[in-house]
């Protein structure tokens, strides 16, 4: 009797299996405690720094700050700081675009107050800037982090792209639950982070670090966050701790498991891409939203996913990857969020079933 031929799994089955894959690292439990619930994350987000980039005061030091009377969002320690910040704040205060900016700031805040993610963002920045060999406490650094909101269910990701057929494509008004994902981490740019602004922010951050008794071995700098296709940036003073540099030097690999086609687990060498994939996988597996990094997708979010079904122009990709700020200025209509997603999809395991092996492009 002829043996029954084994049926190949469908794309939907492969995607669902891929969404169960976990990534671990020897140091992922050695950092500070991860928020155990959404309530704990929200509590960490409630304390604000003064809204003026020329001030280092924090609500933890001075008690509750007063909010801008127009938007009731931006917080300041004094009228003087509000006056100094007004030329920048008035661009967004109480504007229609403000709702989108508000969501961006909320998700970025939840992401950056999480010590679990902070550790591996630091490591990725160390690798991007080669701080293992060029670590200088006196020289401030600048880095760029691009994030986006994509479907929390990888099957919805495939539906938006049209990979499951026309009948599966969601209606325009269908609500889709999304989650934050990191697309790209790179050195900063003079166009987005002028050196004088970096120096001013770093001096304030160093003063605050001294006030809090943090050791001076920390490298101080600025991280510029950008969400999706928005042209708005959120600049955040940051530190890179010596412990993170030690972890980057040791370069222990990540462990990815289970990997169905390999029948077990595999090692991922420490790199910028593997740090990003580790962060993104952790967020994907956070089903209870304790990290507070989930939100309903907007039409702009969906448009990026739909556009990712188009072929990636490798020449454009390499140009943008190595000089993204100049490219953005010269090609303002180009959707950078789309490019960063397309590039990341070629590096992360969960997206491998969308491509043929010959399609992979590692930047």
* 23-26-31 Cα angle (round to 5): 100
Q: Label the pairing between strands 219-227 and 141-151.
A: parallel
pLDDT of residue 342: 82
Low-confidence ranges of the chain (pLDDT < 70): 1-6, 29-49, 53-54, 56-63, 72-73, 92, 94-102, 135-138, 190-217, 229-232, 261-262, 311-335, 356-363
Question: Is residue 222 within 8 Å of residue 235, measured between CB atoms?
Answer: yes
User: Which helix H or strand E contains 236, and what residues bound it?
Assistant: strand 233-240
Q: Tokens 């020329």 correspond to what residue?
A: 54
Report whether 342 contacts 362 (CB < 8 A). no
Q: Which residue has the tokens 């001030």?
A: 55
Q: Is the dihedral of CA 313, 319, 325, 326 positive or negative?
A: negative
- Given a contact cutoff of 8 angstroms between Cβ atoms, the answer to whether 147 and 180 are in contact is yes
257 has which bridge partners? 22
Does residue 130 contact residue 272 with C-beta atoms inside 8 Å? no
The pLDDT assigned to 332 comes to 44
- Sorted by sequence, the CB contacts under 8 Å of residue 215 that are 6+ apart come out as 242
Other C-beta atoms lying within 10 Å of the C-beta of residue 82: 21
CB 147 within 8 A of CB 227: yes
- How far is Cα 241 from Cα 74, in angstroms, rounded to an integer? 28
Whole-number Å distance between alpha carbons of 323 and 320 = 5
Terminal alpha carbon distance of the chain: 51
Residue 294: the pLDDT is 93
Bond before 268 cis per omega within 30 degrees:
no
Q: Can you give the pLDDT at residue 195?
A: 66
pLDDT digits (tens, 9 = 90+) for 323-342: 544 544 444 445 677 778 88
* pLDDT at site 250: 94
Residue count (the chain): 363
* Residue 143 contacts residue 224 (beta carbons within 8 Å): yes
Contact, 112 vs 106, CB < 8 A? no
pLDDT computed for residue 159 by the predictor: 94
Q: Which two tokens stand for residue 170?
A: 């969601």
How do residues 62-82 score in pLDDT, each as one tens digit?
Answer: 667 777 877 766 788 888 888
Q: Six-digit token pair at 63?
A: 């008690």
Residue 347 tokens read as: 């590096």
């Amino acid at each position: 009797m002829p043996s029954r031929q084994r049926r190949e799994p469908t794309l939907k089955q492969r995607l669902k299996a891929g969404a169960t894959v976990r990534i671990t690292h020897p140091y992922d439990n050695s950092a500070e405690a991860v928020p155990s619930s959404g309530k704990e994350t929200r509590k960490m987000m409630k304390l604000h720094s003064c809204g003026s980039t020329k001030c280092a005061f924090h609500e933890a030091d001075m008690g509750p700050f007063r909010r801008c009377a127009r938007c009731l969002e931006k917080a300041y320690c004094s009228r003087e700081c509000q006056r100094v910040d007004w030329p920048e704040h008035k661009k967004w205060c109480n504007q229609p675009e403000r709702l989108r900016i508000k969501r961006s700031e909320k998700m970025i805040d939840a992401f950056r107050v999480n010590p679990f993610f902070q550790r591996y963002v630091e490591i990725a920045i160390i690798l991007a800037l080669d701080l293992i060999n060029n670590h200088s406490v006196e020289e401030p650094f600048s880095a760029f982090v691009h994030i986006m909101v994509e479907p929390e269910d990888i099957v919805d990701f495939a539906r938006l792209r049209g990979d499951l057929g026309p009948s599966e494509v969601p209606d325009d008004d269908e609500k889709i639950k999304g989650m934050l994902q990191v697309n790209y981490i790179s050195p900063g740019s003079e166009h987005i982070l002028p050196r004088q602004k970096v120096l001013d922010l770093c001096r304030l951050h160093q003063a605050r670090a001294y006030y809090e008794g943090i050791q001076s071995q920390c490298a101080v700098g600025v991280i510029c966050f950008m969400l999706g296709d928005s042209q708005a940036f959120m600049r955040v003073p940051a530190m890179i701790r010596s412990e993170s540099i030690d972890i980057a030097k040791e370069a222990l690999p990540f462990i990815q498991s289970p990997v169905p086609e390999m029948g077990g687990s595999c090692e991922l060498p420490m790199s910028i891409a593997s740090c990003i994939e580790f962060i993104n996988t952790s967020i994907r597996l956070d089903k209870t939203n304790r990290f507070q990094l989930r939100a309903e997708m907007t039409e702009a979010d969906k448009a990026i996913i739909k556009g990712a079904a188009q072929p990636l122009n490798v020449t454009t990709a390499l140009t943008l990857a190595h000089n993204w700020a100049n490219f953005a200025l010269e090609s303002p209509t180009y959707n950078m969020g789309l490019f960063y997603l397309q590039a990341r999809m070629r590096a992360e395991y969960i997206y491998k079933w969308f491509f043929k092996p010959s399609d992979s492009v590692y930047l």
